[in-house]
Structure 1
Amino acid sequence: MHQFVMDLIFNTLGWIGALLFLFSYFLLITKKWLATSFAFHLCNIIGGIFLSMSTFYDASYPATFVNLVWALIAAYGMYNDQYKKNKLD
């Protein structure tokens, strides 16, 4: 039972992460969000973290690395965009 619950948790995190990536990309392409929007960055950060957790649990370390770097790039983008925004205010 314990293994089933752990599998369910980490698979759910992976699915949520994947959906966040797709959702944010769709809203970017349809011009509902900008690449500099807080929500776009946040979805990519959370999506990257959730997918990293899921892939690490599955011992897919190259995918874990890519998703962690994705989340870090999104965090840098968020910081950079918020810094520029605050500097203009």
Structure 2
Amino acid sequence: MDNNPAENAIRPNIIGRKNWLFSVSESGADANAICLSLAETAKANGIDFYQYLAKVLSELPSLPIHQQPKILDCYLPWSKTIRESCAIAK
């Protein structure tokens, strides 16, 4: 047994560690962690991250997410609608 798949999955984060070591603030480090988590989750679900970001950033600002937080469920990387509209072309 080995853990090569796990090591390969975290390698980009380990290589970039030096770049992220000097986040200017705690808020910047939190934002970086959120973005990386979204990117890796999208990748794990077969989603094109650029298309995903474009969709989320163009549609979410006009939606009433504060009044209806359940709307966000439709924009998570594993939702059916996101998989249909942002899947990586094969």
Q: TM-score, normalised by structure 2?
A: 0.30
Q: TM-score, normalised by structure 1?
A: 0.30
Q: Which has more radius of gyration?
A: 2
Structure number with higher relative contact order (C-alpha < 8 Å, ≥ 6 residues apart): 1
From the two aligned structures, give the one with the greater helix fraction. Answer: 1
